[in-house]
Amino acid sequence: MRQTSGMRTEAGPDVAAVQRRTVRVLSGGVALAGLGVTVGITAGGLLARDVAGTDSAAGLGQTAGVLGAAVLAVPLARISDRAGRRAGLSVGYLLSVVGAVVTVVAAAASSLVLLLVGLFLFGSATACGLQARYAAADLATPEHRGRALSLVVWATTVGSVLGPNLAAPGADLGTALGLPALAGAFVVSAVVFAVVAVVLLTLLRPDPLLLARRTGGGTGAPPPRTATGTALRAVWATPSGRLGLVSVVVAHSVMVGVMVMTPVHMGHAGGAEEAVLRVVGLVISVHVAGMYLFSPLVGMLADRVGAPTVVALGGALLLVAAAVAGTADPSESLRLGTGLLFLGVGWSCGLIAGSTLVTGAVDADLRPTAQGGTDLLMGLGAALAGVVGGPLLAWGGFGLVSAVSATLVLPLGVVWASVALRAQRSR
């Protein structure tokens, strides 16, 4: 039996009511988790720089977190596929608690290797935040998928905007606990992620993915296991899926490539560390607001004018962002904030519209695996952008970092043009 808004299925639950509850629970969870993620993003690169003593290590620190989000996306998606979204998301946030604790221990021991391990596991929280957007779409009707995805993305605004501004208070906490100042942020993150894991494990009932499978005519039991590569090939086989996949990967890679080096670039302006942290926190907050604050509008726009149009808008905004931020001096916080605002909105367009296209490209049984594979690719692309960011900054400055990141939009333009041409010919 297919789901119908406001109707009960043979199994009993009112699908529309469960969808509304699911979106509320997921939104609350990712809003709180966003606080832990972004306070760690603000402090992570600076902590790696302090432990290793080089700017290049800052890029390694951020890359470890991005790579963790990418690699862990696949096993977390498999857990969701077998046991439901509740299990996959809860396990992921508990892994991030472990990562935050390991990061604190590494900072105290001044061990770069242990720090990178901790930041890798810390990236699990980012993977969960990204997979939560798909969970919001499990029970959504096709014409409302963009909106459902965007509401959960939007909820991240609350914690994500506040998070970077807790870097300085977190540093005070670290000092009070006898830890390196920057490690205090990860103490806050560990507590936040533990609370989110308990909330999702307790309240995300009935499980949206398992219910979606039952209402689609199945039993709710796990489907036969599908390899990630097979699921991704199914996405790539459709023009819309191909555009969605490229959009997600490019948007995330460009965003990370520019964003992770911004705090290090701004640090070259000089001044007291606490003052630098406050200004960096403000700029990152503006960036994060761009990523999440306008997402409901992005989702509605994708549903109304079509996801491919929103993908094109996102690509244009990413190019503008790279041009504005890449030409700013370390002390030009207003110009950097403006560039990073455009960067965040461009990311939102590419992620939400692209995710909507990927979700619609395959059926319910393949979706968790295809979605996990998509997040793996976007994370690997972003990790590569983070890895080269440090050396590029040391060699040619922040302008070179931004210029190289902007070139990643070119493949997206090629795929978008091919899909648009195909659509025009089929009319």
State which of 214, 240, 274 marks the end of a domain. Answer: 214
For residue 9, being part of any structural domain is answered with no
Q: At what angle do helices 295-305 and 333-361 cross, to 10 degrees?
A: 40
Question: For residues 157 and 32, is the Cβ–Cβ distance under 8 A?
Answer: no
How many whole angstroms separate alpha carbon 258 and alpha carbon 247? 17
DSSP assignment of 63-93 equals HHHHHHHHHHHHHHHHHHHHH-HHHHHHHHH
Q: Are residues 205 and 269 in the same domain?
A: no
Contact in structure between 348 and 300 (CB atoms under 8 Å): no
275 has pLDDT over 90: no
Q: Which residues pair with 14 in a beta bridge?
A: 8
Identify whether residues 194 and 272 lie together within a single domain: no
93 in Cβ contact with 200 (< 8 Å): yes
CATH number at residue 395: 1.20.1250.20
* 6 within some domain: no
Amino acid (one-letter) located at 334: L
Domain count, the chain: 2
- Digit-coded pLDDT (tens) for 336-353: 999 999 999 999 999 999
The confidence score (pLDDT) of residue 281 equals 78
Let me know whether 286 and 399 are in one domain.
yes
Q: Are 232 and 242 in contact (CB under 8 A)?
A: no
140 closest CA partner among 380, 413, 376, 356:
356
Same domain as 235, residue 210: no
Q: Are 212 and 364 in contact (CB under 8 A)?
A: yes
Provide the pLDDT for residue 161: 67
In the predicted model, is pLDDT for residue 40 greater than 50?
Answer: yes
25 and 152 fall within a common domain:
yes
Please write the tens of the pLDDT for every residue from 279-300.
887 888 789 889 888 999 999 9
If asked whether residues 248 and 209 sit together in one domain, one would say: no
Mean of pLDDT values over 129-149: 89
Average pLDDT of 367-376?
93
- Residue 102: half-sphere exposure toward Cβ, Cα within 13 Å: 19
**C-alpha to C-alpha distance for 385 and 9, rounded to whole angstroms:** 46
Is residue 170 within 8 Å of 192, Cβ to Cβ? Answer: no
Which residues, 6+ apart, have CB-to-CB distance to 397 below 8 Å? Answer: 265
pLDDT band at 14 (very low <50, low <70, confident <90, very high): confident
Query: Are residues 65 and 168 part of one domain?
Result: yes
Q: What percent of the chain stands above pLDDT 90?
A: 54
* Whether 346 contacts 314, CB under 8 Å: yes
> How far, in Å, CA of 95 to CA of 105, rounded?
16
**Do the domain assignments include residue 284?**
yes
Domain boundary among 214, 248, 278: 214
pLDDT value of residue 218 = 52
3 belongs to a structural domain: no
pLDDT tens digit string along 92-119? 999 999 999 999 999 999 999 999 999 9
User: Does 191 share its domain with 238?
Assistant: no
In this structure, the answer to whether residues 209 and 232 fall within a common structural domain is no
Q: How far apart are CA 18 and CA 28, in angstroms?
A: 15
| Averaged pLDDT, 119-125 | 95
Closest CA to 357 of 427, 418, 416, 296: 416
Both 278 and 362 in a single domain?
Answer: yes
> What is the end-to-end Cα distance of the chain in Å, rounded?
33
Distances 210 to 16, 36, 83, 135, 353 between C-alpha atoms, Å: 15, 28, 8, 11, 24
- The parent domain of residue 265 ranges over 226-426
Using a cut of 0.85, tell me whether the model's pTM lies above it: no
Quick check: 31 and 129 in contact, CB under 8 A?
no
**In a domain? residue 199:** yes
Q: Which helix (H) or strand (E) holds 98?
A: helix 85-109
* Average pLDDT value for residue range 247-262: 93
85: in domain? yes
In a domain, 108, yes or no: yes
Q: Does residue 152 share a domain with residue 22? A: yes
Which pLDDT score is estimated for 2?
39
Is residue 195 domain-resident? Answer: yes
Q: Report pLDDT for 9.
A: 46
Looking at per-residue confidence, does 17 or 281 come out higher?
17
Q: Which of 163, 190, 214 is the last residue of a domain?
A: 214
State whether residue 102 is helix, strand or coil. Answer: helix
pLDDT tens per residue across span 193-239: 999 999 999 999 999 999 988 886 555 556 777 889 999 999 999 99
Most confident of 9-23, 85-99, 132-146, 175-189: 85-99
Examine the domain organization and report whether 237 and 209 are in the same domain: no
Look-up: residue for tokens 């390991």?
Answer: 102
Q: Which long-range contacts (CB under 8 A, 24 or more apart) does 397-402 make?
A: 397/265, 398/261, 398/262, 398/265, 398/325, 398/326, 398/328, 398/330, 399/326, 399/327, 401/257, 401/258, 401/261, 401/265, 401/326, 402/258, 402/322, 402/323, 402/325, 402/326, 402/327
Q: Mean pLDDT score of the chain, rounded to an integer?
A: 87
